[in-house]
Amino acid sequence: MASVSQAQRLCHFRVYHSPVLAETAIEWLVTRADGRYLDGTVGGGGHLAVLLDVLEEGAEILAIDRDPEALKETAGRIGDGKRVVLRQGPFADLARFTEEEGMLPLDGILLDLGVSSFQLDEPERGFTYRADAPLDMRMDPDLPMTAADLIADESEEELGRILREYGEVRDARGLARRIVKTRMEAPLERSGDLRRVVEAGTPPHRHMKVLSQVFQALRIAVNDELGQLEQALAGSIDVLRPGGRLVVIAYHSLEDRIVKEFFRMQAGACTCPPGFPVCACGAEALVEVLTRKAVKVSQEEISRNPRARSARLRVAERLARERAE
């Protein structure tokens, strides 16, 4: 097989999506050059490109994505003869996919969370407030509910909860009230419709921030992103070999908090109430957390890709059974 440089691969894949912390993530991920690895959010294949470059011929890769367009793009870019298996579906099912493909145990799992640049830049997908398009926001087009459906069907109370918990919108209840009042007059079916409702009740200097929060909240709800993340994390440890690593890149505090707490618990944190004289919860250390603090993006990378500025990378390594007991 002809050798292709890492720079050439990245240049080729960035047309679709600029991978965040690509070299750093793969350095943390790969412990065996001939091992088995899972890319749970392959997107356009940016991290996969770097991974292919450092692995040897005997290595195997399982690449998952909910978005069929992302998988189609990746399939066209990796070409024939590569040791990559592509599967469409949520990374929440990574344990099932791994078993079905006969790739147990894994040497590493990479989860690059959030939405890809390609999805943001395709107006018809409805992920961004910067273009007037149908309010879709589904990563998997077969999901039953769009953002427009959610806005049309949910109660004022539930809309307020979504905006508050997933978007950290300051006046979530007030905005939910305005949405419900507006939808009684005409449905909110396009991003421009929602943008006008948000801007009408928000000071001009806060328009962009609040719009970002609102669209993030709806996207998370439509795709059940936090629930999917919790399920993926829960299934990840059992499919890793001792010494195998879980690398997660999060882009907002809600995701990062879930990852950080999962790592803490899997590292054996005691869950007994404060004041218990003796630990009775039976906490068991299954992983070692390798990143004491989250790894952040360099200023150089931010200058190339401003969307990367909020990224936080965390790594945990599966302990050997005898060390965990």
- Which domains are present in the chain? 6-118+226-319 (3.40.50.150), 127-224 (1.10.150.170)
Q: How far is CA 37 from CA 41, 47, 64, 278, 306, in A?
A: 12, 12, 11, 40, 28
Q: What are the angstrom distances between the C-alpha of 21 and each of 24, 27, 296, 305, 311?
A: 5, 10, 8, 11, 8
For range 78-83, the mean pLDDT: 65
For the stretch 219-244, pLDDT in tens is 999 999 999 999 999 999 999 999 99
pLDDT tier at 114, thresholds 50, 70, 90: confident
Q: Return the DSSP state at 41.
A: T
Which position has the higher pLDDT, 156 or 14? 156
Looking only at the bridges linking them, the beta strands covering 106-112 and 36-39 are parallel
Distance CA 60, CA 38 (A): 9
Reduce the DSSP state of residue 34 to 3 states and report it: coil
Residue listed under structure tokens 């790592």? 263
CA distance 50 to 27: 10
Amino acid code (one letter) for 17: H
What is d(CA 251, CA 239) in angstroms, rounded to the nearest whole number? Answer: 25
Distance CA 116, CA 71 (A): 13
Average pLDDT over residues 280-309: 90
DSSP 190: B
- What is the pTM for the complete model shown? 0.88
Q: Is 85 helix (H, G, I), strand (E, B) or coil?
A: strand
Q: Which amino acid is at 258?
A: I
Contact (Cβ atoms closer than 8 angstroms) between residue 49 and residue 10: yes
- Calculate mean pLDDT across residues 119-143: 87
Taking the C-alpha atoms of residue 290 and residue 149, their distance in angstroms, rounded to an integer, is 42
Paired residues of 36 in beta bridges? 60
Burial class (CB in 10 A: 0-12, 13-18, 19+), 210: buried
Model confidence pLDDT, tens digit, residues 174-221? 999 999 999 999 999 999 999 999 999 999 999 999 999 999 999 999
| 83 touches 75 (CB < 8 A) | no
- Mean pLDDT of the residues in the chain: 89
Provide the 10 A C-beta neighbour count for residue 60.
18
pLDDT at 73: 85
Is residue 85 very low, low, confident or very high in pLDDT (cuts 50, 70, 90)?
very high
Given this model, what pLDDT does residue 141 score?
92
Q: Are 198 and 123 in contact (CB under 8 A)?
A: no
Pair 105, 113: CB distance under 8 Å: no
Joined tokens for residue 29: 């991920």
Measure the CA–CA gap between 137 and 152, rounded to whole angstroms: 14
Band of pLDDT at residue 112, cut at 50, 70 and 90:
very high
For residue 273, say if its preceding peptide bond is cis, omega within 30 degrees of 0: no
- Evaluate if residue 15 carries a pLDDT over 80: no
**Tokens, residue 54:** 């450092």
**CA torsion, points 316, 317, 322, 325, in degrees to nearest 10?**
10
